[in-house]
Structure 1
Amino acid sequence: MSNFLKYLLLLVLLLFVTSASSLAQYKPSNQQKKAVRKTKPYVRHISANKQARRYYEILDTYQAGISLAGSEVKSARLGTVSLQSSYIKVTGSSCFLVNSRFSEYANAFNGGHEPIKDRRLLLHKREALKISQQIDQKGLTCVPLKMYFNEDGRIKLDIGVGRGKDNRDRRQDIKEREGKRTVARQLKNFNFG
């Protein structure tokens, strides 16, 4: 009987080792790889207003869609959009992007679009009213922060409500940034041996 148990134990051990080695050699199929790729979020950067965070202290941010013509979307896909010196104008329960530049699309039918014009932002009514209430406060303004394609391929605009910084605030930000850089540089060069 003991020989039988030894034989059975050896058989179970052999099955376990072969199944573990087959699991180690497992490779996912192409369909499984594609399914994994589809779940990754895809966000493509179009344009950013780098000066907005330098000159404004952003208190609140919102995400808005933009109402665009076809040639404007194609221009955005090429990355020829500028948000410099643009701002958000709120009228009632609707918001508009003012002074943004969408360069003309060369292959556009029938002349294309105007490069600089007011473009309507797509926000919920309560968000637009909330932005309007915040802007009515003393010293607050609304500026575009960045424009990008979201996971669905739609153009989105991050807008920020904030107040302008004075020179003292900007100098303080520069000091903090320089301090962080020196600390990071010292930690990088520090020998842990």
Structure 2
Amino acid sequence: MKEKIAKKIDVFNKKAGFEYFFLEKYDAGMVLTGTEIKSIRMNKFNMTDAYCFFIDGELFVKNLNISKYDQGTHYNHDPLRDRKLLLKKRELKRLDNKLTDQGLTIVPTRLFINDSGLAKLEIALAKGKKLYDKRETIKERDVSRERMRDE
């Protein structure tokens, strides 16, 4: 029995939204192998602990877990390998300059497949929340739920 392969994938990283304030967002392409895109289309990936970093002016994502493809042979990929992100040169320079500020990082917020069938990763320049900020986020979410129930 064949597993269902989804044409549209749009998954958000909820943990990143709870842990960080997003300052700027960018859509980046990813350099993937054939078995990786098949696993993504089968919705077999996890990006809760993923983060981005620079090596020699190029942006990479680390800890983006794309599970091995079931029908993959010896051509199967390493699930936790570092994947290169594709952005314009001026966007890379801007992000690299902003990372020198204290407390800023780059986290993936969303993985989706666009209309052309390409896997894209939405990344955000983010600043970490303090404990009282997280409490405030929980409080706002509870208040909005109560409002929705009353309506």
One fold, TM greater than 0.5? Answer: yes
Greater relative contact order (CA < 8 Å, ≥ 6 in sequence): 2
Q: Which residue of 1 aligns with 2:83?
A: 119
Tell me which protein shows more helix as a share of its residues: 1
Distance in 1 between residues matched to 2:34 and 2:148, nearest whole Å:
46
Q: Which residue of 2 aligns with 1:34?
A: none
1:79 is aligned to 2:37: no
Task: Please report the RMSD computed on the Cα atoms of aligned residues, expressed in angstroms.
Answer: 1.4
* Alpha-carbon distance, 1:46 to partner: 4.8
Distance in 2 between residues matched to 1:153 and 1:111, nearest whole Å:
22
Q: Identity rate of aligned residues, in percent?
A: 34
**8 Å CA contact retained: 2:45, 2:64:** yes
User: Which structure has the bigger radius of gyration?
Assistant: 1
1:50 is aligned to 2:46: no
Distance in 2 between residues matched to 1:139 and 1:171, nearest whole Å:
20
Per the normalisation by structure 2, the TM-score is: 0.90
Q: Secondary structure at the match of 1:109?
A: coil
Deviations 1:20-68 (A, max 9, x none): xxxxxxxxxxxxxxxxxxxxxxx82254321001000111100000000
State how many pairs are aligned: 145
Distance in 1 between residues matched to 2:149 and 2:46, nearest whole Å:
34
The code of the aligned residue for 2:66 comes to F
Gaps of 5+ in 1: 1-42, 189-193
Per the normalisation by structure 1, the TM-score is: 0.71
